[in-house]
Amino acid sequence: MSEMLKTFPLPPPPKRGSLIEGVVVNVSKNKILIDIDGIRTGVITGKEIHDSLDTVKHLQVGDKVYVYIIEEENEDGLMVLSLRKAGQERMWQKFIDAYDNATTIDVKANEANKGGLLLDMDGIKGFIPVSQLAPMHYPRVDGADPGMILTRLQELVKIPLQVKIINLDKENGKLILSEKAAFEDQRQNALGKLNIGEKVKGTISGLVKFGIFVTFGGLEGLVHISEIAWGHVDNPGNYGRLGDEIEALVIGIEGDKISLSMKRLTKDPWLEATKKFKTGQMVDGEVNRITPFGVFVKLDEEINGLIHFSEFGDEAAASKKMKVGDKVNAKIIAIDPDEHRIGLSLKEDAKVEGEVAEEATQEIGDEKELKAKKKADEE
């Protein structure tokens, strides 16, 4: 035997901390025996049996499997092995390769906190900060309310996400991941092809006081509250819900900021207003808003007229005299379709814009004549 060993020496035993391939010899409930190089036998027990892929569930005698060496030999002469650490090492190698080559990987978050998404992959801790979420998942909420942000983030737990690794610390077992970075190339490509005047189909990704965020083709744009509808918009949430599909028109591109419009895909009612309403006309309407600068009166579904607060004195006086829902009969004293404005007066004898301009011209003429006469008298 000694002569054989001299002729065919045994290969050196694998070292502690090595990742090696072995063959399954036996699988029981709490123990797995592994043949290493046909010479040595290793054992996997306890928590070391379970990895993130639950490999043990599919193991059969004769299967090849990667294992990690915890101890080179225990008191029974067996190598102490781990499927869990083997999975972790292979996972680390996957992460290192992805980080070095800037490639994307698929992950699922285990939990969320108000700062982002937390991951645990075979004991390797990962974190996706809120700021690194892609537009379709970014939690846009009014006032950055922490409770609402957390609720939105919790909806992403266990959902498959494509990410890039932007920071890797193997020594401390931590990764920083970015979903936004994974889509950056796609986003830049899509942004370069986007044109003002283009109609896009997208999904509502955020509803805030000042408008509606829409994601489309890897991009995100904002429909400002003033571009949602032709009439007055009190609450953008009345025009859609998160996840709803909508159409919008691209009206502006400034760097990464994309401005969209929903209302411009519909006919401007103010074009018809110039035909339907005339200065000097008496109209019926309903008070729908009282503001510091006047009382808004609804004339039809899209058109409002304004009674300036000067007719009342101030907002307090207007609020005493008028209430939302009051029916009024008023005179149109000015129409400006370009600015989408109709001026109203409760006074039937109120002068319309032409008469006001004529009076102003006459007043200027009278003032000039008076100054000329005064100058002549002085001379």
Domain that holds residue 43: 11-86
pLDDT recorded at residue 3: 56
Tens digit of pLDDT for each residue in 8-46? 555 677 888 888 899 999 998 889 999 998 888 999 999
C-alpha span between 97 and 177 (Å, rounded): 14
- Please tell me whether residues 281 and 347 are part of one structural domain: yes
Considering the chain, what percentage of its residues have pLDDT values greater than 70? 89
Q: What is the mean pLDDT of residues 239-249?
A: 93
- Please tell me whether residues 22 and 71 are part of one structural domain: yes
Cβ distance 250 to 265 under 8 Å? no
pLDDT recorded at residue 351: 67
User: Higher-confidence residue: 307 or 3?
Assistant: 307
Question: With bands split at pLDDT 50, 70 and 90, how would you rate the model's confidence at 378?
Answer: very low
C-alpha span between 355 and 335 (Å, rounded): 14
Q: Would residue 224 count as lying in a domain? A: yes
Question: With bands split at pLDDT 50, 70 and 90, how would you rate the model's confidence at 69?
Answer: very high
Domain final residue pick, 241, 265, 289: 265
CATH number of the structural domain spanning residue 70: 2.40.50.140
C-alpha span between 191 and 185 (Å, rounded): 10
Q: Is the pLDDT of residue 300 over 70?
A: yes
Total count of domains within the chain: 4
Q: Is the pLDDT of residue 127 over 90?
A: yes
* Chain centre to alpha carbon of residue 8: 65
Q: What is the mean pLDDT of residues 252-270?
A: 90
Count CB neighbours of 206 within 10 A.
21
Q: What is the mean pLDDT of residues 302-324?
A: 84
User: Higher-confidence residue: 213 or 270?
Assistant: 213
pLDDT recorded at residue 95: 93
Tens digit of pLDDT for each residue in 217-231? 889 999 999 999 987
Q: Would residue 32 count as lying in a domain? A: yes
In the sheet that holds 105-108, the strands lie side by side as 105-108, 160-169, 174-178, 124-129, 116-121, 111-113
pLDDT recorded at residue 379: 43
- Please tell me whether residues 57 and 126 are part of one structural domain: no
